[in-house]
Amino acid sequence: MYNEYSTKRRELRRSHDQLRRSATPTMTDDQARDNLKQIIAVSKNELNMTEDYFAKFQKVISARQVAQLYKAEREFGRVMMKEMKTERQASGPRGRSGRPAVNPGTSN
């Protein structure tokens, strides 16, 4: 059940992020309005899904355990982000491809 919840939430967050990234300074007001409405709709869907899964989780574990699950999930995310940041700093600057960035004027 948790894996299902996690997958659905990840899909909604990806959709939310894609919509945010698709906003550009060259958008018309109508395009920007539509984009923002879509972002709000995705956020509402995520909230509704969280409420639904909270009810489902409570059928299996207590509310206190659900709260602990959410807390552990946030902490895990923080730890993973910290580790990724540490790895990036240790490996030096890299381009989007994951390969070391090429500095103009140097021989690589």
Residue 102 lies in a domain: no
pLDDT value, residue 108: 47
Phi-psi region of 105 (alpha: psi -120 to 50; beta: other; left: phi over 0): left
Structure tokens that stand for 26 in this block: 């060259």
Q: Are residues 7 and 53 in the same domain?
A: yes
26 and 67 inside one domain: no
Provide the domain limits for residue 25.
Answer: 1-58
Query: With 90 as the cut, is the pLDDT of residue 46 above it?
Result: yes
Domain count, the chain: 2
Same structural domain, 68 and 51: no
Q: Does residue 81 sit in the same domain as residue 51?
A: no
Around Cβ 56, how many Cβ atoms within 10 Å? 14
Whole-angstrom Cα distance, residue 16 to residue 38? 8
Residue 16 lies in a domain: yes
Calculate mean pLDDT across residues 74-96: 85
Rounded-to-integer distance, Cα 71 and Cα 65, Å: 10
- Report the pLDDT value the prediction gives residue 47, as an integer from 0 to 100: 95
Q: Which of 60, 84, 81 is nearest to 5 (CA)?
A: 60
In a domain, 99, yes or no: no
Q: Assess if residue 43 is contained within a domain.
A: yes
- Amino acid 30 reads D
Closest CA to 35 of 48, 45, 20: 20
Per-residue pLDDT for 106 more than 90?
Answer: no
What confidence tens digit (pLDDT) does each residue in 65-75 have?
999 999 999 99
Please report which confidence band the pLDDT of residue 100 belongs to, taking 50, 70 and 90 as the band edges: low
* pLDDT score for 102: 54
* Domain co-membership, 51 together with 1: yes
**Prediction pTM value:** 0.67
- Residue 106 falls within a domain, yes or no? no
